[in-house]
Structure 1
Amino acid sequence: MVSATTMHHRRRSILQLALLLLAASPAAMLAAGGACEREEFPAGRSYATCADLPALGASLHWTYDAAASSLSLAFAAKPPGASGAGWVAWGVNPTGDGMKGAQTLLAFKSKGAYVVNTYNLTGYRPLSAASTPIAFEATELAADEGADGKVRLYGTLQLPKGMEAVNHIWQVGSTVANGVPAKHAFAQENLEAKGSLVLTGAGATEAAPAPDTTLATWAPPPPGCVKLNVDDSFVEADGNGGVGMILRVHSGGIIFSSCRFMFTCSSALEAEAAACCEGIALALEWSQAPVIIETDCSMLASMLKEDVINR
């Protein structure tokens, strides 16, 4: 049984983290080499470079032919849940750094064999059973399952001439129902499954630059406006979370700061959304100036900008 003292310290730690998160959030980057080098592929499949990705225990293996602008790749990750029931996905986003706009390959098992669909992710909507066209020609699509339960997704993408680096995303899901991949979890690890991939030059075989761990500089709102910064913390193991929010004027002066503990929470995305809603309500009470909202959750920001209602 958890003591009152333990619960107090847990709540205090979560709330402190929520406030500290308001300062900065490091971007996900690649770490080349490591465990990915031990991945064994079937005969005839080999890749010049590999990288252990910083989320979901995934790895990426690739060979880039700059002259032909051809990217041959293998993405490996273990779906959550029962073996053979889930899906894995990897994609390139030519217009942003999040899920919306990504040109994606998704592998899952159908009637006992793995298939690979393509999806142009235009928004946060359910996927279809059938592939949708993507911006890049995709060939040699295939998938299999390794001895460790990881699903390996293979393919070759024809990229635009002169492309030297891309933003990429990756994801795993636990369920495929009637041939339709169900939505993935929204834990912090899922939300952080994105990064930068250097295709050419030294960066293709060396580790990408380490994330900048210094505190980000706060950008003030225009004179006459106020800025609301929100952030969250989430403990997936027990469903507890914390939210923090702070409202400041152009000079940096603080109008209010607030934080609270969340006893029940399903995901980091839910906690971030709660922080945003509560922060807006408080901002409207404390100021009559136009409010600029700043969040480090690209998924939430995209959902708020969409024209459709998203539950």
Structure 2
Amino acid sequence: MAVRTREDYKNAVLYCQAQQQQASDVGWAAPPPDVYKINVDGATAGIRGRSSIGVVIRDSRGMVVVVTCKVLNGDYGAVVTEAFAIDAGVRLAMEMELQQIIVESDSCEVVDAINERSCNGEFGMVIQGSLELLRSFRSWKM
């Protein structure tokens, strides 16, 4: 959107505000009381690069409790990297002795595998480890 006049500027500001409002309407939502939400993400660098993961845990007020990021010792595909990110988030929540968690990832494939308790495929061992850790929580949801 090219800004040429004062009116263009006002319209551009209104447009940006509307876009931000729409994004926040469908964005992150806080978990219920006494539940912690774990948001994870993984990134791959490509050929000869290294994959990395990030974890954010928030409470029911949306306040950040803890964050962590880590560079992995290898270059993994996107799905495997997401599986590692979920595993790291669950491990962190366990170390913090949290009892009820919700885990969010943008990898439907990994989330489905955990929900279906399917330990097949290239990331099956990571899923198996995460499932074992999830047993220690009073409640968990993907």
- Shorter-chain TM-score above 0.5: yes
**Aligned partners of 1:295 and 1:268: how far apart in 2?**
12
1:305: which partner in 2?
Answer: 115
Do the aligned partners of residues 307 and 270 (structure 1) sit closer, same or farther apart at CA in structure 2, a change above 3 Å counting? closer
**Aligned partners of 1:265 and 1:293: how far apart in 2?**
24
Which structure has the highest strand share of the two? 1
2:69: which partner in 1?
Answer: 259
1:290: which partner in 2?
Answer: 100
Q: Is the 8 A contact 2:39 2:55 kept in 1?
A: yes
**Aligned partners of 1:255 and 1:287: how far apart in 2?**
12
Match of 1:281 among 91, 101, 105: 91
Runs of at least 5 residues in structure 1 that lack an aligned partner in the other structure: 1-213
Q: Is the 8 A contact 1:232 1:242 kept in 2?
A: yes
1:240: which partner in 2?
Answer: 50
Match of 1:221 among 4, 25, 31: 31
**Aligned partners of 2:117 and 2:93: how far apart in 1?**
24
Deviations 1:148-198 (A, max 9, x none): xxxxxxxxxxxxxxxxxxxxxxxxxxxxxxxxxxxxxxxxxxxxxxxxxxx
**Aligned partners of 1:234 and 1:249: how far apart in 2?**
28
Secondary structure in structure 1 of the residue aligned to 2:34? coil
**Aligned partners of 2:42 and 2:119: how far apart in 1?**
23
Runs of at least 5 residues in structure 2 that lack an aligned partner in the other structure: 1-22, 125-142
Give the deviation of 1:217 after TM superposition. Answer: 2.0
Give the deviation of 1:226 after TM superposition. Answer: 0.5
- Of structures 1 and 2, the one scoring higher in RCO (CA 8 A, sep 6+) is 2
Task: Give the aligned residue type for 1:241.
Answer: S
Structure 1 segment 39-54 matched on structure 2, within 5 A: none
Deviations 1:113-138 (A, max 9, x none): xxxxxxxxxxxxxxxxxxxxxxxxxx
**Aligned partners of 2:83 and 2:116: how far apart in 1?**
15
Q: Please give the TM-score of this superposition, normalised by the length of structure 2.
A: 0.63
Structure 1 runs, 4 residues or longer, greater than 4 Å off: none
Structure 1 segment 1-311 matched on structure 2, within 5 A: 217-310=27-120, 311=124
Secondary structure in structure 2 of the residue aligned to 1:302? helix
Q: Is the 8 A contact 2:58 2:64 kept in 1?
A: yes
The structure number with the bigger radius of gyration is 1
Secondary structure in structure 2 of the residue aligned to 1:288? coil
Give the deviation of 1:238 after TM superposition. Answer: 1.7
Do the aligned partners of residues 308 and 271 (structure 1) sit closer, same or farther apart at CA in structure 2, a change above 3 Å counting? closer
**Aligned partners of 1:246 and 1:301: how far apart in 2?**
17
Q: Is the 8 A contact 2:47 2:75 kept in 1?
A: no
Which structure has the highest helix share of the two? 2
Task: Give the aligned residue type for 1:217.
Answer: G
Q: What is the RMSD of the two structures over their aligned residues, measured on CA atoms?
A: 1.9
**Aligned partners of 2:117 and 2:53: how far apart in 1?**
26
**Aligned partners of 1:288 and 1:279: how far apart in 2?**
11
Q: Please give the TM-score of this superposition, normalised by the length of structure 1.
A: 0.30
Give the deviation of 1:276 after TM superposition. Answer: 0.7
Secondary structure in structure 2 of the residue aligned to 1:237? coil
* Matched length: 99
Q: Is the 8 A contact 1:239 1:266 kept in 2?
A: no
Q: Percent identity?
A: 28
Deviations 1:51-86 (A, max 9, x none): xxxxxxxxxxxxxxxxxxxxxxxxxxxxxxxxxxxx
